[in-house]
Amino acid sequence: MADVFVNLQEKVKHHLEVIYEGVLNSSDISAIVPELISKIGIQSAEDCHYPTPHKNRWDESDIIMITYGDSIVENMDTSEFGYQQKPLKTLLRFLEDYADLIISHVHILPFFPYSSDDGFSVIDYSTVNQSLGDWSDIEKIADKYGLMTDLVINHCSSRSQWFQNFIAKDGIGSDYFFTASPSDDLKAVVRPRTSDLLKEVETASGIEHVWCTFSHDQVDFDFRNPKVLLTFVDIIRLYLDKGTKIFRLDAIAFLWKVAGSPSINLHQTHEVVRLLRTLIEHAEPETVIITETNIPNRENLTYFGNANEAHAIYNFSLPPLLLNTLVTGDCSYLKSWMMSMPPAQNGTTYFNFIASHDGIGLRPAEGLLSDEELTSLANCMQNFGGRVSWRATENGEQKPYELNIALIDALKGTLEGADKYQLQRFICAHAIMLGLEGIPGIYIHSLLGTPNDEEKVLNTGQNRGINRHRWDYKSLVTHLDNNKSVHAKVLSSLSMLIRIRRSQAAFHPNATQFTLQLGRRIFGYWRQSADRQQSIFCISNISHKTKKVRLSDINLIENSLWFDLIGEKPIDPNTEDLVLKPYQTMWISNKSTG
């Protein structure tokens, strides 16, 4: 272990030299090395683990459910008394009663005290929002389900004590925040919002202009100050101790800022990810890092590094491309993108999702869909009750940045309008996603088939509120126990697909994947297990008309017995054609069980 410990020290020093080149001198960097290693929980060589390179820390059974801590609540009759049960306890109850056999991990969105952005403007990183519960509630969920936790590392709340100390120019945080001058060249800065980049703040030292990538309540940290880095390593250690198995690095692409540059994806940002990876994997080697980078596809892929940055990256191009496929009835763009995606090396994988607490980002579809096609998609979503969020480009133009709509309503029809295939189209979308290379993430409101929450948009004034409904537990149970309700049908159908997926070796996140060429109306791909013992052909009719697929086009091996895992029936080898109803998916396997 001594050699591993020495190697860790050398690696950490190298990371710091890259990050702080021109900022810190060699002696300052050397002094930080032991501090970082100690803060991550490695006090001696005996505490230091050797991280196995290119090890897959996941398998086909891994399914992550994304939820807020209070997506489901139990209200008392008199609301002034608050919730009958702390929401985190209610969440655990829901998981045990309705999701126990289908979920391996739970991503609880920021569960800390906050001032805005539904949790992503953190006031205090060290405590649980008391309206949700406490650390014991988090630990109980973590003990039974793998816990995925947000590390909101780019910014914090302007109401945090750190920022108040910045204003007072005294105490912890007084030098934590990034400032710039309005006279700086900031034209190239890439923004996901239309608000002013700089926030004028009167401090004890005079007027300063604080950098705010997202909103003026979300003030950006200055990682040029190593004390900020040390503080976040402390936070990481706390979350590990509370049961975190997966870290989601929120808005990580914006971490390092340089006036006169785009201030996104800078090499210092990548090096910070590598440093955090090095520290975490030597302390807790089974922990996984996922980077949240809602940016064009080519840039997103760079966060794999050389299998030394993120273990997994959000597959941000999937939601807009799959949505476009199902509302146009044409899978051409989805196929082209799939064929261009590099297979993830062992030790890395994709994090697949088609709905989340945020909207459906359109930047990851730039260069894949034309401006006209993106506009057409946005118009379609507005026809289905959705909203569009905008961003400012370098030349001051407004471009659609995000579609805000509940996924089940996004799929209520096609470009031609709403139709009778909403549920089938919604299940088809998940069947496609669940079979793909990578780990699936399913938003709780997709699992429950929750529609647009227009009232929340009106009450909050936030477009994203449309897909952040808060269920009353008793009301939800009434729906789920009624087999005729849409919510019960969605949960039942998705649970069935997930249970099948979790027992198929060919659905391992790193199993081989090839895209099939079956025309514009049939989307298909082939998965093969690492031992080559199982093949699954995933075939989906993405149109509103019944379609036929020739068995010869799929190229099934004739002397094997094939079985549709979803339909639970064998495939007749003498049949020339497979007949797929509108939005039907078949998972055709040479094994009837996993």
Distances in Å between the Cα of 122 and the Cα atoms of 39, 109, 115, 240, 289 are 21, 12, 7, 18, 20
Among 218, 108, 112, 113, residue whose Cα is nearest residue 156: 218
Among 147, 158, 90, 88, residue whose Cα is nearest residue 120: 158
Q: Is 250 a known active-site residue?
A: yes
Catalytic residue among 222, 250, 409, 453: 250
Residue 128's pLDDT is: 98
Q: What is the 3-state secondary structure (H, E, C) of 511-556?
A: CEEEECCCCCCEEEEEEECCCCCCEEEEEEECCCCCEEEEHHHHCC
CA angle 251, 257, 263 (to 5 degrees): 70
C-alpha 464 chain-centroid distance: 15
pTM: 0.95
DSSP secondary structure code for residue 451 in this structure: -
Residues 6+ apart with CB under 8 A from 507: 60, 434, 435, 501, 527, 536
Residue 83's pLDDT is: 65
DSSP secondary structure code for residue 311 in this structure: S
Q: Report the C-alpha gap between 240 and 281 in whole angstroms.
A: 12
Q: Kindly give the confidence (pLDDT) of every residue in the chain, 594 residues in length, as a single tens digit, with 9 standing for 90 and above.
A: 679 999 999 999 999 999 999 999 999 999 999 999 999 999 999 999 999 999 999 999 999 999 999 999 997 554 444 567 899 999 999 999 999 999 999 999 999 999 999 999 999 999 999 999 999 999 999 999 999 999 999 999 999 999 999 999 999 999 999 999 999 999 999 988 878 999 999 999 999 999 999 999 999 999 999 999 999 999 999 999 999 999 999 999 999 999 999 999 999 999 999 999 999 999 999 999 999 998 888 899 999 999 999 999 999 999 999 999 999 999 999 999 999 999 999 999 999 999 999 999 998 898 899 989 999 999 999 999 999 987 766 677 777 889 999 999 999 999 999 999 999 999 999 999 999 999 999 999 999 999 999 999 999 999 999 999 999 999 999 999 999 999 999 999 999 999 999 999 999 999 999 999 999 999 999 999 999 999 999 999 999 999 999 888 887 766 678 999 999 999 887 777 899 999 999 999 997 665
Residues 6+ apart with CB under 8 A from 43: none
Q: Report the C-alpha gap between 370 and 15 in whole angstroms.
A: 39
Q: Which residues are annotated as a binding site for substrate?
A: 117, 155, 248-250, 357-358, 464
CA angle 155, 160, 166 (to 5 degrees): 85
SS3 180: coil
Half-sphere exposure for 297 (CA within 13 Å, toward CB): 20
Q: Report the C-alpha gap between 335 and 322 in whole angstroms.
A: 10
Place of tokens 């409904």: 469
Q: Report the C-alpha gap between 408 and 434 in whole angstroms.
A: 16
Among 532, 539, 573, residue whose Cα is nearest residue 554: 539
Burial of 184 (0-12, 13-18, 19+ CB in 10 A): middle
At 592, list the tokens.
């009837």
Q: Which residues are annotated as a binding site?
A: 117, 155, 248-250, 357-358, 464
Among 562, 558, 567, residue whose Cα is nearest residue 540: 567
Q: Report the C-alpha gap between 524 and 30 in whole angstroms.
A: 53
Residues 6+ apart with CB under 8 A from 398: 194, 390, 391, 392
Helix axes 87-98, 135-144, angle to 10 degrees: 10
Q: Report the C-alpha gap between 401 and 364 in whole angstroms.
A: 10
At 412, list the tokens.
């209520």
At 107, list the tokens.
């991503």
Q: Report the C-alpha gap between 302 and 291 in whole angstroms.
A: 11
Cβ neighbours of 210 (radius 10 Å): 23
- Please name each of the domains of the chain with its CATH number: 64-159+220-263+315-507 (3.20.20.80), 512-589 (2.60.40.1180)
Q: Report the C-alpha gap between 348 and 437 in whole angstroms.
A: 11
